[in-house]
Structures are given as structure tokens and as C-alpha cells.
Amino acid sequence: ARRRRAVPPSCPAARVSQVTVRDALNQALDEELERDERVFLLGEEVAQYDGAYKISRGLWKKYGDKRVIDTPISEMGFTGIAVGAAMAGLRPVCEFMTFNFSMQAIDQVINSAAKTCYMSAGSIAVPIVFRGPNGASAGVAAQHSQCFAAWYGHCPGLKVVSPWSSEDAKGLLKASIRDDNPVVMLENELLYGVPFEMSEQAQSKDFIVPIGKAKIERQGTHITLVSHSRPVGHCLEAAAVLAKEGVECEVINLRTIRPMDIEAVEASVVKTNHLVTVEGGWPQFGVGAEICARIMEGSAFNYLDAPAVRVTGADVPMPYAKILEDNCIPQVKDIIFAVKKTLNI
């Protein structure tokens, strides 16, 4: 539920609401189901149960069985149905209860959805959104805690978005539903209940966040921190701590993994001369590895005063024990350590 801040009506902040990521996603789905009758939602427990994470709360009662569809526990089956519906002119939103279970349907996502437009010489569009929680949650161990940003970001034919804030979540989901390409939307379960400020504009029915454009969440001059999803918040926390020590970090929220806004990263590196990437996924062939390679291959490399550094998840399947889990996920202290190492302070 939204909570209005206690400020005078004349103050600009009076038009800003606190909205959770869950409610922002729900708003986006509601508005797009209402706007376009071709849009429908399907997945496990999305209808009568209001969604495993309550993202689709109230939508089945409002739009009925044909627009919000409960499926059997068969990812390969319902994903194939969704891809076929998209090829036939509908605009499905296909929810995975976790992206770890999208492995059951990766043939449909890659071989059916991602490649069809190219293989049909552009004559068949596949306007579909694959969405759900991605990356580590809390206490759910290896088979529920993997980040697939690098996996899906690797594949031509897909667009891949990864929201952090409520504004990201709503704007990117609406943009993804309206896009004629298959879009993978990697959310984070631990962010669903987190409230963020949303402006009146961001809550309007016309609001979208363009796919492929990063956002500078904090301006800085000494070092660039690039991240996506939940670690963006960790970067901002680290930046606040470092600011007290005189280090000004520029924090970039990628928002989109593919196509990647490398120009925004390059412009920041030219200004700060230092780069640290932060992600929850594994290090090998990761998002940070791609950013570092692109910077090295481009003109911004000449502006680096120190090697780029990656902060990533540990290179192991996620343990169940909380203390081990905490040591496998990048923490604020890890980002601060990487920044000081890069700046040699």
C-alpha cells in the first residue's frame, strides 16, 4: 500500500509517494492489461492465489480466467504456450516462480523466442516478457539463488532488464510489455517488499523507463561503481560511507543488461578514472567481466588510472547456512574494500 509523506501540499515532495517494488509491478501489470487486450499473464499460482509473491494480487478477480491464467508446474509447457501465443499476435507475460526454474524452459526462451525474428527475416515478432525473481534470496540455497543476468545477456535476440527501484520495476515492465522483442526481466525477491520514493510522473499510466539506458543514481568524481538489481543499493550505502572519508563515488544503475549502455559507463570512467563493477552473480563470464572488457576495448581505457576491479558473488553454488550465504554475496564492506584497493588508500 502507498503511504503519503506528511508534508505541506505546497511542497514538491507532497507529490512523491512511497511505493514498494511489489506494488509498482502490480500497477504496471494492471495498467498494461487494461490498456491492451492482447496482454495476458500466465504462470504458477498467478491467478487464484494472487501470485507466489503477490505481484499479481487482484488481477484475476478484475480480468478473469482468460487474461490471468494459472498453469501446471511445467515450465517447458506453459513457456511454450506463451511463446506460441506471442507468435500468433498476443503479448504474454510469463512468470517464473524463480528464474532458476527457467532452466526447465530455456529451450523455449532461447531457441523458440530469441531466434525466431532473425530466422524469419523479421516477419515474425515475439512480443513476450519472461519475468520473476532472480539471484539470491534468503536461506533458499543453491537451486534457488542463481543470477541469470550473464546467461540471458549472452544471447542475441533477447533484451534483458534488471530493475532496482520501484520506478525501475514499473517503467521497465511497461516498456518490456510494449516491446516487440522477447524481454527477460530479472527481478529480486528481497526487493519486493522494499518501499522507494516514486514521483507523480512515475505513477502515471504513460510512464516507461527506456530499455537500454542506464541511470546515474549518485554523482561522483573519484571512482565509478556500476551495478544492477539489489547490489545498486549496496553501492549507494558504500558511497555514503566513503563520502565521510572524502571519497566521492559515482553510482551507475545499469537497469538493462542487454543492450548494455556502455556509453554511460565510459563517460563516467572518463570523469573518475577508476572503475569497480558490483554484481551478485558468479565471477566467470559475468556482467562485470563484460563491462571491464568493453571498457578495455574502447577509448575510455586510456583514462583509467588503475585496473578495473570486479566485486561478485563467490564462485560456488550458494550454501544454505546463513553465515556462509552472507560470505557468498557481495556486502557493503566488500565494495568499500574494492574502492580503497583501486584508489590505493
Query: What pLDDT is attached to residue 15?
Result: 78
Residue 7 resides in a domain: no
Q: Strand locations in 164-287, DSSP E? A: 183-187, 195-198, 215-218, 223-227, 249-253, 256-258, 275-278
- Could you give the residue ranges of the DSSP H alpha helices within 71-189? 75-87, 106-107, 115-119, 149-153, 166-178
In this prediction, the residues of the chain whose per-residue pLDDT falls under 50 are 1-14
40 phi/psi in degrees, rounded to 5: -145, 160
Query: What pLDDT is attached to residue 3?
Result: 44
Q: What CATH number corresponds to the domain at position 272?
A: 3.40.50.920
User: Among residues 75, 95, 167, 279, which one is catalytic?
Assistant: 75
89 phi/psi in degrees, rounded to 5: 115, -5
Both 156 and 244 in one domain: the answer is no
CA–CA gap between residue 256 and residue 146 (Å, rounded): 18
Residue 172 resides in a domain: yes
Q: What are the C-alpha distances in Å from 167 to residues 76, 109, 145, 182?
A: 31, 26, 24, 21
Both 22 and 133 in one domain: the answer is yes
CA–CA gap between residue 9 and residue 155 (Å, rounded): 48
Q: Quote the domain boundaries for residue 238.
A: 215-343
Q: Active-site residue 154, yes or no? A: no
Residue 240 resides in a domain: yes
Q: What is the CA radius of gyration of the chain?
A: 20
Query: What pLDDT is attached to residue 1?
Result: 45
Query: What pLDDT is attached to residue 16?
Result: 86
Q: Active-site residue 237, yes or no? A: no
State pLDDT tens for residues 231-288.
999 999 999 999 999 999 999 999 999 999 999 999 999 999 999 999 999 999 999 9
User: Among residues 44, 95, 144, 274, which one is catalytic?
Assistant: 144
Bridge partners (DSSP) of residue 110 are none
Q: Which residues contact 106 (CB under 8 A, 6 or more apart)?
A: none
Both 232 and 136 in one domain: the answer is no
Both 295 and 248 in one domain: the answer is yes
Cβ(201)–Cβ(167) under 8 Å? no
Residue 72 resides in a domain: yes
The β-bridge relationship of strands 249-253 and 91-95 is unpaired
Both 273 and 171 in one domain: the answer is no
Query: What pLDDT is attached to residue 232?
Result: 98
Domain boundary among 157, 180, 203: 203
Among 150, 217, 207, 144, which residue's Cα sits nearest to residue 184? 150
Both 123 and 195 in one domain: the answer is yes
- The count of domains in the chain is 2
The three grid cell numbers given for residue 32, joined into one nine-digit string: 498494461
36 phi/psi in degrees, rounded to 5: -135, 115
